[in-house]
Amino acid sequence: MTDILIHLLLTLLMPPLLLGVIGKTKAAFAGRTGAPFLQPYYDILRLLRKGSVFSDVTTWIFKAGPVITLAATCIAALLIPLGNHPSPVSFTGDMILFAYLFALARFFTMAAALDTGSSFEGMGAAREATFSCLAEPTLFFALIALSRMSNSLSLSTMLNHYSVTDWLRSGASMLLLVGGLFIVLLAENCRIPFDDPNTHLELTMIHEVMVLDHSGPAFGYILYGAALKLFVLQAFFIHIALPLKTGNSLLDWGIFIVSMLILATIIGVVESVMARLRLVRIPQLLVAASILSAFAMLLILR
Amino acid sequence: MTSFADQLLVLVMLINFVVLGSSRMAISIRAVALQGIALGLLPGIMHKFSWHLIMITGGMIVAKGIVIPWLLTGAVRKAEIRREVEPFIGYVATLLLGAVFTALAFVFAAKLPLDPEHQGLLFVPASIATLLTGFLVLTTRRKAISQVIGYLILENGIFIFGLLLTSAMPVMVEAGVLLDLLVGIFIMGIIINHISREFSSIDTSRLTTLKE
Amino acid sequence: MLFGIVILPMLGAVLAWLIPSNSQRPLVLPIFGLIHLAMTGDLLLHTPPPSSAGWIYLDPLGKVILIPTSVLFMICAVYAVGYLAYRQERSNRVLCMGLLACLSAMTLATVAHHLGLMWLAIETTTLAMAPLIYFNHNARSIEATWKYMLICSVGIALALLGLFFLAYSTIVARMEPTLLLGPLVAQAGSLSPAWLNAAFVFLLVGFGTKMGLAPLHTWKPDAYGEAPGLVGALLAGGLVNCAFLGIIRIYQICMASGNAVFFQDTLVIMGLVSMAFAAVFMVGQADFKRMLAYSSVEHVGILAVAIGLGKGALFGALFHVINNSLTKGVLFLSSGNIHRSYGSKSCDVVKGALKRLPWSGGLFLAGFFAITGSPPFSPFISEFTIINSSFAQGKNFTGALFLIFLAVIFIGMASTVLPLVLGEEPQDLAETDYRDRLLTVAPPLFLMGLVLLFGLWLPAPLMQILQDAARLLEAKP
């Protein structure tokens, strides 16, 4: 019971902190003090207090977009186990639901963007659709490989199955999986080198351009939903990259929180040292990620 | 120790993809150097200590990890060429082809009647995959240096297979193979230099005077 | 003695490197060529036993390759002195070194009984030849050199993989892993057939590339066309034979394993395809050196068909190795003279060579008749033996195709060669400094004499060697 409570609390409260950590890391690299760690919370709270403006030409889809996106991400957060504890909701085959909840969220973000009728947002939606198509195989290859290794189709048993011995036994394929998934983690969360979350100006941005017309609470939901997505995918990644187990429940939670923060720092470092890729090179990197995880699957299935 | 050897072979196969996907000549050259070093370490892992082994390991690392990359970088610098690879077909397409070839290599290797001792090891699939990648680079890149890189990868693939039978290849022959490779790359480097002087480019698709 | 004959040309290469004078350096070539020829003669008379580990041994098959190599080199070396006198504007240091290094490697290939060592020797010939093809230092020759270098390197690398497969077949068969020819032939029956077949395929592709079997011949017209005549002669008469020896060694193992049908059929098909390619490209060929390259493709095709047929054709194949080398020597050397005299190798310009250069033109014409298998020259005898054996074995289709291709090639070559030699000399031809001299005419003339001699009368010792070699190839388990 405590575990479920902690799970829910962490899911609700921690995501914006990750954004804060990333921002702080980037500021440190740039030699600035940077915004405080809690800045994303203030942003979201401020947005929620504001009023909304909706364009006359939009339909209900535009309003539903952020809500459905957030809802889908929340359900996904319930399916993912955190730090060696089983998830609150778990059943055989939930990995498929997990994958398609994100697809659903993405679909509504894109539909809402198209609903504005702005060519600018339509362009963003088209890019999002293209790149997510290319990122999806990576996730599925990884899921197949993981379920094969653990002989299970449920995320909880699948992800909690790993231990350090797996790394010793099939380190190469694990490394490939981690590499592929890290690329997808960056791509799915619109981080550099795929997309720059801070820009609203360039013609080359992807995610930010789709949500330009949202304002007030709706934009707050989007911001929070994005943070939650980062949180969920980071948790997924940590299970594979750092399968540390102590057995002590509280200690495991501690390890989980620390490793999440470390991963956020690593993302911040990557964002600081890399430049955004040219748009034409993005599919190449995503295909490379797919190949990495396909290769890992090949090695595991063999 | 075989599991560590397997990890190294996975690294070797990953480097294949790096070369297929990278657009920068310098990255390709360094990747092939790393591949050479990884291959140089392999015999040391697989066999018991002997002077023969030390010589091969040392020779491989010096030749493939240091001398050949140095020659190639020198050729790139001297030829003053644009440092992009310029493939005939796109990077994504080559990457996918590389993935298909690698998968085929695994399928094919599973069908070969291997010695029970070597069953389940990655040597044969890695060898075939690397060989095919070499071919892919050779045939899809225009720049003369990229083609040399393709040749090197092909040679690396053959070397991986050779690791299974060190006992049949006496050290003299192995040293000779390595020396020949070195001299070959050296000569190719000189030719590249002359090509760039003669055609002010090392784009081999311009070499079209001689045909029927 | 066997070590000596391999090492000696290397010493010659070092000597050529040390000599500063461009005009005196070429003299190294005939000196070492003569010593090499003398040593070869001595080795033929007193063949030493195999070396203790079985790595080095001059068996009859090696002799069949060594004889034409040594003779051809000697001739080319004498010719080189005359030729390089015309090319004083360019340093010949690399050329002299390359020629001698190549001779050393070719000799090593003939005496090596360890397949890895033989591979090494053949690879070294590839490398040593590259600077020679680039002797003229122009855009066309660099293109030819690049294609040659890349295609042959890849081909030879594949041959190495084939050798690895061969060695692996011994591991799978639970034998002591080895690449020594002796044990491999002796135990061929117990080798793993799957790996053996894979090895055959890769070795055939690898050495086939080096030999220039179609469709792996693409480098050949370029390299032969752009290289100086004497380098072309050594490529077509020396290097090709070494690669052929590689195939012969595999053939030996294959025959001994009692499972040679696949290999033989492949050889016949590749040989016929090569002849077909040559026939197609030779008709209307406007560049007479490229035409010679296609003639070389044709003749490696003939060799492949002949050993693919086996039995009586084997003698023909081995005899044809010698005939082809000597005749190609005549053709390339005389064509080099014609090229120098006209300053062009296009058949639009080069006409009436018999008037301008009576000796070289005449030799070129005689060489043409010899290479197309006209009596009384020796290629007629070897080709006749092969066709005869084909019909005797009941392989009428192969024999008929063989004859048709020979006829087409004769017509195609004649349509290029006859106007070239007999036509009217163009009026507005630039004067060049080349005249027929003793040093550039006597070497091909001597070779032509040998071709005619072997066509009329084959000396008994040579006959003996050829028969011994054919017997080695025929060996059944």
Whole-angstrom Cα distance, residue A302 to residue A18?
38
- The whole-number pLDDT of residue A97 equals 92
Strand partners, C112: C56
CB pair distance less than 8 Å for A172 and B6: yes
- The whole-number pLDDT of residue A157 equals 85
Whole-angstrom Cα distance, residue C467 to residue C473?
10
At residue B145, does pLDDT exceed 70? Answer: yes
In Å, how far from its chain's centre is CA C371? Answer: 13
CB pair distance less than 8 Å for C147 and B161: no
Query: How many domains does chain B contain in total?
Result: 1
Comparing alpha-carbon positions, the chain A residue that sits nearest to B90 is A284
What is the reported pTM? 0.88
Query: Chains contacting A with at least 3 CB pairs below 8 Å?
Result: B
- Please tell me which of the candidates B13, B92, B98 has its beta carbon nearest to residue A284: B92
At residue B40, does pLDDT exceed 70? Answer: yes
Closest CA to B129 of B151, B108, B152: B108
Q: Give the burial string for A28-60 (b: 16+ CB within 10 Å, else e).
A: eeeeeebeebeebbebbeebeeeeeeeeeeeee
- The whole-number pLDDT of residue A201 equals 59
- The whole-number pLDDT of residue C109 equals 94
- The whole-number pLDDT of residue B114 equals 82
- The whole-number pLDDT of residue A196 equals 78
List Cβ neighbours of C344 (8 Å cut-off, separation of 6 or more).
C350
- The whole-number pLDDT of residue C33 equals 94
Q: What tens digit of pLDDT does each residue of A234-244 get? A: 999 998 888 87
Strand partners, B84: B24
Average pLDDT over residues C173-202: 87
Query: How many domains does chain C contain in total?
Result: 1
- Please tell me which of the candidates B10, B95, B96 has its beta carbon nearest to residue A299: B10
What is the band of C331 on the pLDDT scale with cuts at 50, 70, 90? very high
Tell me, yes or no, whether B58 lies in a domain. yes
Task: Confirm whether the ipTM is greater than 0.90.
Answer: yes
Q: What tens digit of pLDDT does each residue of B4-25 get? A: 788 888 889 889 988 988 888 8
CB pair distance less than 8 Å for B95 and A298: no
Tell me, yes or no, whether B210 lies in a domain. no
At residue B35, does pLDDT exceed 90? Answer: yes
Minimal Cα–Cα distance from B173 to chain C, Å?
6
Mean residue pLDDT of chain C comes to: 91
CB pair distance less than 8 Å for A292 and B14: yes
Q: Which two tokens stand for residue B193?
A: 């230099």
At residue B3, does pLDDT exceed 80? Answer: no
Average pLDDT over residues C113-136: 92
At residue C69, does pLDDT exceed 70? Answer: yes
- Selected residue with higher pLDDT from A205 and A2: A2
Closest CA to C163 of C205, C111, C103: C205
Q: What tens digit of pLDDT does each residue of A164-217 get? A: 777 777 777 888 888 899 999 998 888 888 887 776 655 667 888 888 888 889
Q: What tens digit of pLDDT does each residue of A7-37 get? A: 999 999 999 999 999 999 999 999 998 889 9
Contacts of A171 in chain B (CB under 8 A): 3, 7
What is the band of A158 on the pLDDT scale with cuts at 50, 70, 90? confident
CB pair distance less than 8 Å for A172 and B11: yes
Q: What tens digit of pLDDT does each residue of C149-180 get? A: 999 999 999 999 999 999 888 888 888 888 88
Query: Chains contacting B with at least 3 CB pairs below 8 Å?
Result: A, C
> Over pLDDT 90: what percentage of chain C?
65
Q: Which among B186, B187, B200 is the top mutation candidate for probing chain C, defined by the most C β-carbons within 10 Å of its own β-carbon?
A: B187
At residue C366, does pLDDT exceed 70? Answer: yes
- The whole-number pLDDT of residue B2 equals 64
- The whole-number pLDDT of residue C473 equals 87
Chain C 279-298, residues with CB within 8 Å of chain B CB atoms: 281
**Cβ of residue B158 closer than 8 Å to a chain C Cβ:** yes
Range of the domain at C399: 2-474
At residue C326, does pLDDT exceed 70? Answer: yes
- The whole-number pLDDT of residue A225 equals 93
- The whole-number pLDDT of residue A259 equals 93
What is the band of B85 on the pLDDT scale with cuts at 50, 70, 90? low
- The whole-number pLDDT of residue C219 equals 92
Sign of torsion over alpha carbons A48, A51, A56, A60: positive
Average pLDDT over residues C354-381: 92
Tell me, yes or no, whether B82 lies in a domain. yes
Whole-angstrom Cα distance, residue A38 to residue B132?
52
Placement of tokens 């294609």 in the chain: C147
At residue B38, does pLDDT exceed 60? Answer: yes
Closest CA to A54 of A219, A200, A232: A219
Average pLDDT over residues C356-365: 92
Average pLDDT over residues A233-259: 87
